[in-house]
Amino acid sequence: MMQWVIASLVVLLVIQVALFIYILISKKITLNYDEKVETLYQNLLPSYIEIVQDTSQLEPRLPENKKYRKDVVEKLLVRLSEVTAGEGEKARIRKLAETTLLDAYIKILEKGSWAERVNTLFYIEDFGMISIKDHVWQHLGRVESDDENEEYRQTLRVLATIYPEKFLTFILEKDTISESLAKELFRRLDEGSLMEMEKRTSGKTPIAFKLAFIVLCGEMKLNQHLPFVERCLFDEQKEIRLKAMKSICSYQYFSKTEQLKEFFESEHWEERMYAAKIAGVMELTKYRDHLVDTLADPVWWVRFSSGEAISKLPDGEILLEYVASQNEDAFARDMANQMLTTKATGLRG
């Protein structure tokens, strides 16, 4: 029995020593590889800077080893992308990527591991590699269509960036994509595609897309789409109206402010709340009386938004002081006092 225990301990010790040696060797190999990549990167960086800045067309000699070449070029182009803003420079980065990485990326999309594919998709988007767009489109057909699948999400991001026409054809037939993901994807579209998106959201498209697009227009202050957002303020669906009002708050502009009155009188508290917010961000003094009235609203969020809006008016502090001391409604007095206290605390801070 004792001999069996000793033998087992010896075997375990040998296994542990072997694993330790394997880890040391693997670590050493990885360090040596990373050091060589870093050395190549430092040596090639000046030449690549000249190419991207268009002060030289002479491409330096790259490593024969395909893995070294791929990793070094990625490192170079990622660094240059981080410090590059000009369209000409971006175009030269794209050309370098398509010249040196295209074949490797096609192979990875077809046969690489999950991690390799996802990383490659991120690089394709970063470098704007238009020439690989058909391969990415084919790749989408091989990926599980699930919002929780990062590979699927990143494939859609890439298509929105480099192949918007195919992206729109695909995405507008999906009714399972969330509003948050849709908005993230729409941010990548060029202006022509955004105009097409506006046309299509007027038809039978999933409501999540319309909601995402309406909010995005305001967040990005896309003035050319403001008339569309304003039309949505009077949509028959409450959810669309609310998103349009949220977008108007972001725009801080509404061309037909006289129509805001009906929202102050809405049966839906959310619309009363947004009416107050819009009056506040636009400093619409003509709605002073409506804002005072909604300080007595039965819903706290409406009262709070009205108080904030009044505080933004030119004579807002005086008006709040009057309400706090003279208004007959307890809700209105409390909210006015709260706003005055908050403002005073902010000034002391």
- Taking the chain (349 residues) in runs of 10, the rounded mean pLDDT of each run is 65 69 65 74 84 78 80 88 84 91 94 94 94 95 86 95 91 82 92 88 80 94 94 93 96 91 95 97 94 95 96 92 91 92 57
Q: What is the pLDDT of residue 5?
A: 62
Q: What is the pLDDT of residue 345?
A: 56
Q: How far apart are CA 38 and CA 24, in angstroms?
A: 21
* Alpha helices (runs of H) in the chain, residue ranges in sequence order: 2-52, 66-82, 87-100, 102-111, 114-127, 133-140, 150-162, 164-171, 179-186, 191-201, 207-219, 226-232, 238-251, 261-264, 269-281, 288-294, 300-312, 316-326, 330-348
Amino acid found at 208? A
Q: How long, in residues, is the chain?
A: 349
Q: What is the pLDDT of residue 287?
A: 95
Q: What is the pLDDT of residue 18?
A: 67
Q: What is the pLDDT of residue 348?
A: 39
* pTM for this prediction: 0.80
Tokens 């990875």 sit at which residue? 108
Q: What is the pLDDT of residue 2?
A: 66
Tokens 């369209």 sit at which residue? 87
Q: How far apart are CA 54 and CA 117, in angstroms?
A: 31
Q: How far apart are CA 83 and CA 75, in angstroms?
A: 13
CB-count exposure of residue 60 (10 Å: 0-12, 13-18, 19+): middle
Pick from 125, 124, 117, 120: nearest CA to 143: 117
Q: Do 276 and 247 touch, CB atoms closer than 8 A?
A: no
Tokens 């402010």 sit at which residue? 257
Tokens 């609310």 sit at which residue? 242
Quickly count: other Cβ atoms within 10 Å of residue 144's Cβ. Answer: 8
Q: How far apart are CA 237 and CA 235, in angstroms?
A: 5
Q: Is 83 helix (H, G, I), strand (E, B) or coil?
A: coil
Cα angle 76, 160, 254; round to 5: 115
Structure tokens at 335: 């909210």
